[in-house]
């Protein structure tokens, strides 16, 4: 689309505002808080996902899906500023919060970067319509941070590839449709040079999806076991053995998180995925007037606000080239650490109810369980330790850590005494 | 500091950066350690010529911004002040000039501030702090066609040598501001000791100081909104300056980490230190982000300006010092010597962290605003 035919921002914003108000429901924070107090049942979760698929379809039909994606793939061909305007107008309204990360980004983002024309034309519109939900088959049980050390193997067989291995930490794989999978296609070259990316439907023979129970009772995460999964070569993304080129960009999208120009998410207000407000906890703990508690509330709000503004700054810096692509690690680190601190704060405000509570205790109920999960924000999506490596080495240019796996065939890389058993467990 | 500047902003920033590099090098700052003023009057006049004091003054009164948002433009200058640990009453002169311009009074004083031939101080702080809902103890009472001031203001930046003192006090339940000329009878000035090398602070003691009622800015007892705006502006300048000092301290320490070898390898190769640099980088960029966000919001008069500016101070006041002390730690013993330059920036960040409300004061303000909003929703 040429520059002079792009809809101007003000007109787009008015159109977006009218459409949002006419079609979407305002967020009901009380109902959301109540719903988040306990783990949803399987039926509730499926109903929520079904509703969000419907919201995706409405946005597609309304001309607001894929705002920065080219029209030939079902998008609107507009700019990040248009996406930002839409996100601002979306503040306070329902939105498909589960279907953005990783479905639209990194998954659709990676397809847009590396997919064939046919792959993009088949899948991008389906993702934007809510017809296909994608998830990423990236981490493995043998190592979370060492993504390029993938053991899941793809072996060529004529026009097909045969995949075997296991992937883990996939969110909502049991209700998703397609997976983006990093696999090893060559064991005789150094690890970064023997990887390839494939896509395949999840509900099929040879793909066994297990749900993992977390410390808070959530079964959102899954592990998949792949047994002789046959994938046509036309479902390969990027070149054979050049999967790390794809993977690097994939992880860039992952670090951009909600800051990606592909993501439709309210710009203001508490995201509905966030934890309970420390003010609600303080009120229900009867400690809202305690200056020490108010100090903690102030700190929590401070970290939340700075994190959001930092994410905007990093997004802008990366878009304009003032920061390297790797700069996304800066906001990833900050938000991970700040999130852990905020979990500690609500736990502290909850007082004794953080250790034992009844369901009628309101917002203090379950803060102890939330605290048990404190580190998840520093682990998922690449650990904060990896982010610190990226910032010091790639942003500040400091010497890289010594590696013993860089220039040797992957087959010869030491794997630890129980690696073989772990990878099958 | 903003990633993207307009060409005019870029010019403003660059001329100030160059001027400070040549006129306020560290040697000059060290030389003026015992100097009562901390800078030469000529330095301040030449800085005023670059626009240092004009950005919060309307065009009608001889001022003007370069981008339409003078306070945002001012943060570029403040950033360089921090990055050079530069002397001069940047915050106070701008806050007072802006207040006079909004009040539409004393255009003669505005003109002198714009020219750099006079300086001003804003006497707001009091011992014990003012942010936790405590009203000022300095009283401003009406007596016929005069006002009478009684009480103490402490600490007040650049007050001892200022020509004009904008004093904030209490009249009954309301706030009042009076422009007090230096040397007025009943006013005594006590120079304070400070951690900063070139900025000066004073305590002002008012003992039945009488002035004509027309020295009151606006209405007696009706200055609360104006005082809040001045506080927000002063904090925006202070935060941008602190971030500038953090920038410089961090850059010096990164350079040191590449230069300094221990056990045959550079400090920058140790993962423990690399990870601390990564944390510092996240605080530094967070400081930039929130400082700029608050400046935009205050400049635009947004509803969340008070929230953002307190978030900025609470964050930068706390993490700025954490960053600077970590820089000291990574420098080792040399980092706590007067000989090394790192302390010039540690001093600036320390003084800024303690004044205009501590991080703890601002966390209370953030909580109060959040709880108030929460009870309305």
B228-259 pLDDT, tens digit per residue, is 999 999 999 999 999 999 999 999 999 999 99
Give residues 249 to 278 of B whose Cβ lies within 8 Å of A.
254, 257-258, 265-266, 268-269, 271, 274-275, 277-278
8-state DSSP, B3? S
What is the band of A12 on the pLDDT scale with cuts at 50, 70, 90? very high
A274 in contact with B at a CB cutoff of 8 Å? no
Distance from CA of B124 to the nearest CA of A (A): 24
The confidence score (pLDDT) of residue A30 equals: 65
Name which of A209, A36, A238 is nearest A119 in CA terms.
Answer: A238
8-state DSSP, A7? P
For chain B, what's the residue count? 377
Going by C-beta distance under 8 Å and a sequence separation of 6 or more, which residues neighbour residue A81?
A9
The three-point CA angle A43-A49-A52 to 5° equals: 140
A281 in contact with B at a CB cutoff of 8 Å? no
The confidence score (pLDDT) of residue A425 equals: 36
Identify the structural domains of chain A with CATH numbers, from first to last: 3-98+121-131 (1.10.540), 274-395 (1.20.140.10)
For chain A, what's the residue count? 425
**How does DSSP assign B165-221, residue by residue?**
EEEEEEETTEEEEEEEETT-TTEEEEEPP-S-SS--EEEEEEEEEEEEGGGEESSTT
Q: Which of B287, B289, B364 to mutate to test the interface with A (most CBs of A within 10 A)?
A: B289
Residues of B in contact with A310 (CB under 8 A): 282, 285-286, 289-290
Task: Report the alpha-carbon distance of residue A168 to residue A211 in Å, rounded.
Answer: 10
Under an 8 A CB cutoff, do A312 and B286 touch? no
Provide mean pLDDT across the span A402-417.
Answer: 87
A277 in contact with B at a CB cutoff of 8 Å? yes
What is the location of CATH 1.20.140.10 in chain B? 224-376
Distance from CA of B105 to the nearest CA of A (A): 38
Report whether pLDDT(A419) > 70: no
Q: How far is residue B336 from each of residues B339, B340, B342, measured CA to CA in Å?
A: 9, 8, 8
* Mean residue pLDDT across chain B: 96
Under an 8 A CB cutoff, do A392 and B278 touch? yes
Nearest CA in chain B to A334: B282
CATH homologous superfamily for the domain B122-217: Butyryl-CoA Dehydrogenase, subunit A, domain 2 (2.40.110.10)
Phi-psi region of A7 (alpha: psi -120 to 50; beta: other; left: phi over 0): beta
Q: Which fold, B7-118? A: Butyryl-Coa Dehydrogenase, subunit A; domain 1 (1.10.540)
Going by C-beta distance under 8 Å and a sequence separation of 6 or more, which residues neighbour residue A308?
none
B280 in contact with A at a CB cutoff of 8 Å? no
3-state secondary structure at position B149: strand
Distance from CA of B263 to the nearest CA of A (A): 15
Distance from CA of A404 to the nearest CA of B (A): 16
Q: What is the CA radius of gyration of chain A?
A: 22
The percent of chain B in helix, strand and coil, each rounded to the nearest 5, is: 55, 15, 30
Residue, of A222 and A4, whose pLDDT is higher: A222
Distance from CA of B328 to the nearest CA of A (A): 18
CB-based contact B306:B345 (threshold 8 Å): no
* Prediction ipTM score: 0.96
Q: Which fold, B224-376? A: Butyryl-CoA Dehydrogenase, subunit A; domain 3 (1.20.140)
Cis bond before residue A390 (omega within 30° of 0): no
What is the location of CATH 1.10.540.10 in chain B? 7-118
CB-based contact A370:A343 (threshold 8 Å): yes
Under an 8 A CB cutoff, do A388 and B311 touch? no
CB-based contact A103:A127 (threshold 8 Å): yes
A279 in contact with B at a CB cutoff of 8 Å? yes
Under an 8 A CB cutoff, do B285 and A387 touch? no
End-to-end alpha carbon distance in chain B: 34
Give residues 294 to 323 of B whose Cβ lies within 8 Å of A.
307-308, 311, 314-315
The three-point CA angle A46-A49-A50 to 5° equals: 85
8-state DSSP, A202? S
B134 in contact with A at a CB cutoff of 8 Å? no
* Of the candidate ranges A31-35, A46-50, A236-240, B363-367, the one whose mean pLDDT is the lowest: A31-35
Residues of A in contact with B371 (CB under 8 A): 279, 288, 294, 297
Nearest CA in chain B to A316: B3
Provide mean pLDDT across the span B330-342.
Answer: 96
CB-based contact B74:B55 (threshold 8 Å): yes
Under an 8 A CB cutoff, do B281 and A314 touch? no
Residues of B in contact with A309 (CB under 8 A): 286, 289-290, 292-293
Under an 8 A CB cutoff, do A401 and B271 touch? yes
What is the band of A405 on the pLDDT scale with cuts at 50, 70, 90? confident
Under an 8 A CB cutoff, do A314 and B285 touch? yes
B269-313 pLDDT, tens digit per residue, is 999 999 999 999 999 999 999 999 999 999 999 999 999 999 999
- What is the reported pTM? 0.89
Residues of B in contact with A323 (CB under 8 A): 3
Q: How far is residue B84 from each of residues A274, B168, B197, B340, measured CA to CA in Å?
A: 41, 30, 12, 14
What does the block give as tokens for A398?
Answer: 């400091």
The confidence score (pLDDT) of residue A36 equals: 57
8-state DSSP, B127? T
A322 in contact with B at a CB cutoff of 8 Å? yes
Residues of A in contact with B265 (CB under 8 A): 399
Query: Given B278, B289, B374, which is nearest A279 (Cβ)?
Result: B374
The confidence score (pLDDT) of residue A33 equals: 60
The confidence score (pLDDT) of residue A35 equals: 59
B293 in contact with A at a CB cutoff of 8 Å? yes
What does the block give as tokens for A116?
Answer: 């064939």
* Mean residue pLDDT across chain A: 91
Strand bridging mode B164-171 / B120-123? parallel
8-state DSSP, B32? T
A310 in contact with B at a CB cutoff of 8 Å? yes
Nearest CA in chain A to B374: A279
Report whether pLDDT(A42) > 80: yes
Under an 8 A CB cutoff, do A333 and B282 touch? yes
CB pairs under 8 A between A and B: 133
The confidence score (pLDDT) of residue A355 equals: 95
Distance from CA of B345 to the nearest CA of A (A): 21
A153-197 pLDDT, tens digit per residue, is 999 999 999 999 999 998 888 899 999 999 999 999 999 999 999
B48-82 pLDDT, tens digit per residue, is 999 999 999 999 999 999 999 999 999 999 999 99
What does the block give as tokens for A319?
Answer: 């878009």
Q: Which of A280, A309, A323, A336 to mutate to test the interface with B (most CBs of B within 10 A)?
A: A309
B113-140 pLDDT, tens digit per residue, is 999 999 999 999 999 888 877 899 999 9
3-state secondary structure at position A308: helix
What is the location of CATH 2.40.110.10 in chain B? 122-217
């Amino acid at each position: 689309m040429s520059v002079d035919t792009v809809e101007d921002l003000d007109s787009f914003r008015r159109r977006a505002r009218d459409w949002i108000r006419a079609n979407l429901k305002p967020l009901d924070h009380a109902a959301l808080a109540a719903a988040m107090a306990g783990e949803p049942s399987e039926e509730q979760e499926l109903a929520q996902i079904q509703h969000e698929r419907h919201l995706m379809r409405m946005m597609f039909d309304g001309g607001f899906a894929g705002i920065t994606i080219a029209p030939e793939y079902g998008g609107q061909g507009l700019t990040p500023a248009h996406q930002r305007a839409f996100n601002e107008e979306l503040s306070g309204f329902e939105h498909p919060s589960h279907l953005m990360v990783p479905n639209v980004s990194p998954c659709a983002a990676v397809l847009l970067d590396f997919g064939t024309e046919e792959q993009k034309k088949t899948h991008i519109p389906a993702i934007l319509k809510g017809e296909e939900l994608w998830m990423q088959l990236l981490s493995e049980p043998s190592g979370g941070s060492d993504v390029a050390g993938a053991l899941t193997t793809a072996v060529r067989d004529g026009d097909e590839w045969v995949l075997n291995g296991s992937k883990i930490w996939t969110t909502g794989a049991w209700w998703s449709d397609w997976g983006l999978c990093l696999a090893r296609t060559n064991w005789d070259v150094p690890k970064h040079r023997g990887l390839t990316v494939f896509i395949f439907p999840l509900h099929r023979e040879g793909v066994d999806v297990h749900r993992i129970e977390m410390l808070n009772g959530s079964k959102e995460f899954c592990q998949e076991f792949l047994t002789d999964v046959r994938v046509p070569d036309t479902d390969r993304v990027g070149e054979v053995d050049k999967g790390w080129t794809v993977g690097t960009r994939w992880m860039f999208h992952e670090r951009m998180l909600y800051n990606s120009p592909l993501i439709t998410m309210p710009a203001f207000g508490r995201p509905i995925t966030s934890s309970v407000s420390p003010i609600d906890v303080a009120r229900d703990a009867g400690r809202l007037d305690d200056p020490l508690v108010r100090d903690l509330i102030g700190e929590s709000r401070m970290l939340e606000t700075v994190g959001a503004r930092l994410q905007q700054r990093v997004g802008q810096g990366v878009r304009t080239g003032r920061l390297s692509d790797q700069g996304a690690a800066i906001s990833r680190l900050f938000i991970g650490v700040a999130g852990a601190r905020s979990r500690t704060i609500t736990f502290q405000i909850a007082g004794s109810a953080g250790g034992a509570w009844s369901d009628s205790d309101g917002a203090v109920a379950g803060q102890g369980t939330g605290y048990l999960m404190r580190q998840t924000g520093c682990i998922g999506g690449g650990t904060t330790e990896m982010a610190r490596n990226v910032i010091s080495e790639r942003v500040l240019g400091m010497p890289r850590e010594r590696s013993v796996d860089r220039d040797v065939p992957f087959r010869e890389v030491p794997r630890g005494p129980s690696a073989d058993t772990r990878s099958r467990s | 500091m903003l990633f993207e500047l307009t060409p005019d902003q870029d010019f403003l920033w660059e001329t100030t950066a160059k001027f400070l590099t040549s006129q306020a090098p560290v040697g000059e700052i060290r030389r003026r350690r015992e100097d009562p003023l901390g800078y030469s009057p000529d330095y301040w006049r030449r800085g005023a010529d670059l626009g240092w004091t004009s950005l919060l003054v309307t065009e009608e009164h001889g001022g003007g911004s370069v981008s339409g948002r003078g306070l945002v433009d001012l943060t570029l200058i403040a950033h360089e002040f921090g990055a050079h640990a530069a002397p001069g009453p940047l915050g106070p002169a701008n806050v007072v000039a802006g207040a006079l311009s909004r009040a539409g009074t004393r255009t003669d004083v505005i003109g002198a501030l714009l020219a750099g031939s006079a300086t001003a101080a804003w006497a707001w702080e009091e011992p014990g702090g003012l942010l936790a809902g405590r009203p000022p103890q300095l009283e401003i009472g009406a007596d016929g066609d005069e006002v009478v001031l009684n009480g103490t203001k402490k600490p007040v930046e650049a007050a001892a040598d200022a020509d004009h003192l904008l004093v904030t006090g209490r009249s009954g339940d309301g706030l009042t501001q009076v422009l007090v000329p230096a040397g007025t009878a009943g006013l005594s000035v006590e120079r304070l000791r400070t951690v900063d090398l070139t900025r000066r602070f004073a305590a002002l003691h008012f003992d039945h100081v009488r002035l004509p009622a027309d020295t009151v800015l606006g209405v007696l007892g009706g200055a609360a909104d104006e005082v809040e705006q001045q506080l927000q502006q002063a904090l925006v300048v202070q935060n941008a300056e602190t971030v500038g000092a953090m920038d410089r301290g961090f850059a010096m320490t990164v350079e040191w980490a590449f230069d300094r070898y221990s056990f045959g390898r550079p400090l920058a190769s140790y993962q423990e230190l690399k990870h601390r640099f990564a944390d510092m980088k996240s605080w530094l960029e967070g400081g930039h982000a929130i400082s700029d966000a608050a400046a935009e919001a205050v400049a635009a008069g947004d509803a969340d300006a008070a929230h953002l500016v307190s978030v900025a101070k609470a964050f930068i006041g706390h993490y700025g010092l954490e960053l600077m002390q970590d820089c000291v730690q990574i420098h080792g013993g040399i980092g706590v010597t007067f000989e090394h330059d790192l302390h010039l920036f540690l001093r600036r960040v320390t003084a800024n962290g303690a004044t205009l409300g501590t991080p703890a004061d601002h966390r209370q303000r953030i909580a109060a605003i959040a709880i108030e909003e929460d009870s309305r929703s």
